[in-house]
Structure formats: structure tokens, C-alpha cells
Structure 1
Amino acid sequence: MQLYPIEAGNFKLDGGAMFGVVPKSIWQKTNPADSNNMIDIGARSLLIEDGNRLILIDTGLGDKQSEKFFSYYYQWGDDSLDKSLQKNGFHRDDITDVFTTHLHFDHCGGCVQWNKDRTGYETVFKNAKYWSNKDHWQWATTPNAREKASFLKENILPIEESGQLHFVDRNNKEHFTNIPELGFGVLFVDGHTDKQMIPHLEYKGKKLVFMADLLPTAGHIPLPYVMGYDTRPLLTLPEKKSFLDKAADEEIYLFMQHDAHNEVITVKHTEKGVRHDQTYTFNELFN
């Protein structure tokens, strides 16, 4: 197995929304804001090369939305999904599987694109199986009013219409389940959105977890630092605590999808609870 971090593009989000009830005077120490109160956010995917399989975890925002839509998110930098795949020697048509942790637009927007004459949509990865789970798919396709702006039908429905959609088996509704078809396990969490899936991998003798929105940035490690976007913040608290305690106990490496400046981190136990320990680039850790 070989893993590749894939930079799908950077953007910005409102710092207050990203930290919920935590005051700016505190969160800006780890996540400084610009004059518009926006903080740097990454869209870092992970590519798994395993034999003849190429599995892509999440796809970023994509490029099919309107100029007005993207103006809200202040994209910055030169990274894109296609550029990053090419840099690592791959093409979108090489991808055999696309695994979505959840279906918010910043995680699955790159799954779908306009067709050639812009009369409709088509999948970006024409040779891939697209993976979700039945409970989250139902949640996303019949969205509540709070999440409706994040579950965009043009990102989701064309996947089903293409015939490429597949669902993982939850193994009797356990919180953690292995997915033999993909070669890794996932932790199901419900605080941010219903049935978000957090991939757990074993790689070069280390445990690596793709954090998605269970832990957006290193600045979110203290338990009360919960995003305003989370649908069930009081459920996020025990989910974070359980995971972070385990991560500190077992020396798990956390692959940070949304932290534009910390690619992989570890955590440790302190008198104040679990806190940030070390930061690594992916290449220095695994090459």
C-alpha cells in the first residue's frame, strides 16, 4: 500500500462559525483571522494505492458552482484535485473508488462536474465506485433546514443517477466497522452530521486516521471547541473525547483534512486534557 496526500484546494471560513461558542480572543491564537474574520481552511484528500485499486477519500469543493457561490469562500493558492493527482503520477480516470466521509459540499463537490455542453451533470471519476452509507445518504438527500445549504443536490444526486453509487455495510450498527472492499475501517460519528465516517488505516507500522470534520484543525482539540456547523454539538463532545483519549493512548497519527497548516499531528495527555503534541508533514513522517 502507498498513500498520497492530495491537495484539492484551499479556502476560508468564518472563524466564529468554525469555533462556535469559543471567543475570538481565544481561538485566534491558533487560527488567526483576516480582516473579514475568515480563517484558512484546507481541502486535503487522501489517495490510497493498494494493488490495482486507487481509492480517493473525499474530493474537495470542485469547480462547478457559480462565481457568487465561490465568492463566499475566498479560495486561495494554486492547488487543485487534478493538479495534485497529476503531481503524484495519476489521472482522474485511474481512480477506482471514491469514498466520501460525508456529503457536505466541501467534501464531495469534486465528485461531480458539468457535462460538456453544461446542460446537466456527470461524475468526475467515470471508472470509480462511489461509496457512502445508507443512513447518511438518506440524511443528505432529505436535508434538514440547518444543513440544506451544505447538501447540494447537484453534488449528490448525479452519483446515484450514474449507477456508480455503493453503500458500505455497517455491521449491525456498530460504531466502528471494517470495510473489506476498501481495506480500511471507519468510525461512525453523529455530532457534526448523521453517520459521518472517519477512516482508520494502518500504514508503515503506524496508525493513521483521516479526521474529516471530527477534528477540523489542530486548534479544535480542546473539547468545548466545537464548530457552530455541528448539528449535535453535545454529541460531538463525547465523540471527540473518546477518540482523542484513544489517539493519545495509542499514538495515533491524525491526518488533518481541513487544517491548511498542519498536515499530520499527534496528541498527548496533559493536566488540562488531551492537547496538541507534534506536527509533521506527511512526507517527513512516512518517507
Structure 2
Amino acid sequence: MKLYPIETGNFKLDGGAMFGVVPKTIWNKTNPADENNLIDIAARCLLIEDGNRLILIDTGMGNKQSDKFFGYYSLWGTHSMDKSLAKYGFHRDDITDVFMTHLHFDHCGGSVQWNKEKTGYEPAFKNAKFWSNSNHWEWATKPNNREKASFLSENILPMQESGQLNFISKPESDFGISNELGFGIFYVDGHTEKMMIPHIKYQDKTIVFCADLIPTAGHLPLPYVMGYDTRPLLTMPEKSKFLSAAADNSYYLLLEHDAHNQIITVEQTEKGVRLKEVFRCEEIL
């Protein structure tokens, strides 16, 4: 097995929205904001090469939305899905499986693209199976008013219409192994219904793709919960359970949204679980 970080592009989000009730005077120390109160955000995905399978975890925003849409997110940097795949000798047509932690636009927008005529949409990975879970799919395709702006039908429905959509079966226990893809999955409901957190056994390590459970290294304290979370009071015990396991088992946490800290480890302290070490992807993967 080989693992590759896939950088799909950077953007910015409002720091207050990213840290909820935490005051700016506190979160600005770890995630400094610009003059518009925006903080740097990454869309870092993960590619797993395992035998004859190439499994891509999340796909970033993609590039099919309007200039007005992207204008809200202050895109920056030169990363893209195609350039990142090419760096390791791959093309999007090589991907056999696309695993989506959840269906918010910044995690699955790259799964779907315009067709050649720009008259409709098609899967951006024509040879891949797309993996979600039935509970989250139902949640995303019948969105509540709070999340409606994050669940965009053009990012979601073409995967089903193409016949490439599959639902993963829920493991019987937390961190249980998925029969379909062969890695562990921790299901959480605080951010959105049944978000999936992959745990990958790699050499002598456990690599965890943190999605929106731990978006950046600045989010380690339990009350530091995004304003986007639908059930913040549930996020905190989910984070507590996860971070305790991460500290006790020396997990390596790959941060999807931290533009400046790629992989971290954590440790137990008198204040709770806190940052231990920071690594670049090439040091660990």
C-alpha cells in the first residue's frame, strides 16, 4: 500500500464561522485572519494505492461553479486535482473508488464536472465507484435549511444518475473495518449526519483522515467547534472520544482543511488532548 496527499486547491473562510463561540482573540493565535476576517483553508485529499485499486478520499470543490460562487471563497494558490494526481503518475481515469467523507460542496464538488458541451453534468472519475452511506445520502438529498447551501444537487445527483453510486455498510463497532474498502471508519453526527472518518493502517502507523471533525490543528480543544456544525453539543463528545483514541494509540492525523499543518499527532495533557508534533506529508506517507 502507498498513500499520496492530493492537494486540490486552497481557499478562505470566515474565522468566526470556523470557530463558533470561541473569541477571535483566542483562535487568531493559531489561525490568523486577514483584514476581512478570513483564514487560510486547504482542500487536502488522500489517495490510497492498494494492489489494483486507487481509492481517492474526498475531491475538493471542483471547478464547475460560477466565478461568483468561487468569489465567496477567495481561492488562492496553484494546486489542482489533476496536477496533484500527475505528480504521482496518475490520471483521474485511473481512480477505481471515490470515498466521500460527506457531501458538503468543498468535499465532493470535484466528484462531478461539466460534460463537454456544458449542457449537463457527469462524474469526473468515469471509471470509479462513488461511496457514501445511505443515511448521509438521504440527509444530503433532502437537506435541512441550515445545510441547504452546502449540499448542491449538481455535486451529488449525477453520481447516482450515472449508476456509479454505492453505499458502504456501517461497521458493527466504532473504528470498525469497512468490508468494501478495507479501512476503518468512525461515524460521527455532530457536523452532519453520518460523516465518515477513515482510519488507514499504513506500515506500522494508523493514518486518520480527519475531514471536518478536526478541520485544523487549532480545533483540538473540545469547545472549538465550527459554526457550521448542525449538532455542536454532539460534536464535543465525538471529538473527546476520537482524540482520546488518537492520543492513546499514537494516530497520525491528516488534516484536510489546515493549509499550514498537514499531519499532526496529539497527546494527553492537564488541559486535555493537545498538539504534540507537526509533520509534512512526505515525512509520514
Q: Where does residue 30 of structure 1 map in the other structure? A: 30
Q: How far apart are 1:185 and its partner, in Å?
A: 1.2
Distance of 2:180 and 2:95 partners within structure 1: 15
Inter-partner Cα distance in structure 1 for 2:120 and 2:213: 33
Q: Which residue of 2 aligns with 1:60?
A: 60
TM-superposed CA distance for 1:137, in Å, is: 0.1
Tell me the secondary structure at the aligned position of residue 18 of structure 2. Answer: helix
Distance in 2 between the 1:24 and 1:93 partners?
A: 43
Confirm or deny: 8 A CA contact 1:198 1:209 kept in the other structure: yes
Q: What is the CA–CA distance in structure 1 between the aligned matches of 2:200 and 2:54, rounded to whole Å? A: 15
Q: Which residue of 2 aligns with 1:123?
A: 123
**Kindly tell me: are residues 141 and 186 of structure 1, through their superposed partners in 2, closer, same or farther at Cα, counting changes over 3 Å?**
same
Would you say 1:239 and 2:205 are equivalent positions?
Answer: no
1:143 aligns with 2:134: no
The answer on whether the counterparts of 1:265 and 1:277 sit within 8 Å (CA) in structure 2 is yes
Contact 2:58–2:99, Cα closer than 8 Å, also in 1 = yes
Show the 5 A alignment for 1:49-198.
49-171=49-171, 174-198=173-197
AA of the residue aligned to 1:108: C
Aligned amino acid, residue 71 of structure 1: G
Given that residues 169 and 179 in structure 2 are in contact (C-alpha distance below 8 angstroms), is that contact kept between their aligned partners in structure 1? no
1:268 and 2:264 correspond: no
* Correspondence for 2:221: 222
Q: Give 1:252's aligned residue.
A: 251
What SS does the aligned partner of 1:193 have? coil
Contact 1:175 1:189 in 2 (8 A): no
* CA displacement at 1:171 relative to structure 2: 4.0
1:180 is displaced (CA, Å) by: 2.3
Aligned to 2:40: 40
**Aligned-partner Cα distance in 1 for 2:198–2:213:** 11
Counterpart contact for 2:215–2:255, Cα < 8 Å: yes
- Is 2:206 aligned against 1:204? no
Deviations 1:31-80 (A, max 9, x none): 00001100000000000000110000000000000000000000100000
**Shift, 1:176, TM fit:** 3.6
Which residues of 2 match residues 9-24 of structure 1 at below 5 A?
9-24=9-24
Give 1:277's aligned amino acid. Answer: K
- Residue range with higher mean Cα deviation, 163-172 or 175-184: 175-184
Counterpart secondary structure, 2:103:
coil
Could you say if the C-alpha distance between residues 221 and 171 of structure 1 is closer, same or farther in structure 2, counting changes exceeding 3 Å? closer
User: Root-mean-square deviation (CA), in Å?
Assistant: 0.8
CA separation in 2, counterparts of 1:114 and 1:201?
32
> 2:234 is aligned with what amino acid?
L
8 Å CA contact 2:171–2:185 kept in 1: the answer is no
Q: Give the unaligned 5+ runs of structure 1.
A: none
Name the TM-score, length of structure 2 as normaliser: 0.99
- For 1:211 and 1:230, locate their aligned partners in 2 and report how far apart those are by CA, in whole Å: 15
